[in-house]
Amino acid sequence: MGAKKRNFHRELMARMGWEEESFRIQELFMTGKREEAVAAVPDDFADEISLVGPPERIKDRLQAFEDSDVTTLLVGAASRSELRQAAELVLG
């Protein structure tokens, strides 16, 4: 979670309506409780900013991203087949 005084990630999370959670996560992280900080990230927040899960779920949620102001989609894949699958979902 970076610097305590000026932290892009915490500030963004707060602007998105998760201010209380952002401070809790930062406090845990800054006191060396990294695993607890990760566990404190609300599932709903992660769901709001990412497309995760099985392909069927991603396909269902992809429309919401296409309808939003999002202009860039970053894809992380552990293999070529995962990358190919992501491309097929996004490109149709």
The structure's pTM equals 0.71
The per-residue pLDDT for range 30-61, each reduced to its tens digit, is: 999 999 999 999 999 998 888 888 888 888 88
Domain locations in the chain as residue ranges: 8-46, 51-91
Q: What's the mean pLDDT when you consider all of the chain?
A: 89
C-beta separation of 29 from 1 below 8 A: yes
- Mean pLDDT value of segment 69-92: 89
Q: Looking at the chain, how many residues does it have?
A: 92
How far apart are the C-alpha atoms of 59 and 74, rounded to whole Å?
15
How far apart are the C-alpha atoms of 41 and 22, rounded to whole Å?
8
Q: For the beta carbon of residue 1, count every other beta carbon within 10 angstroms.
A: 18
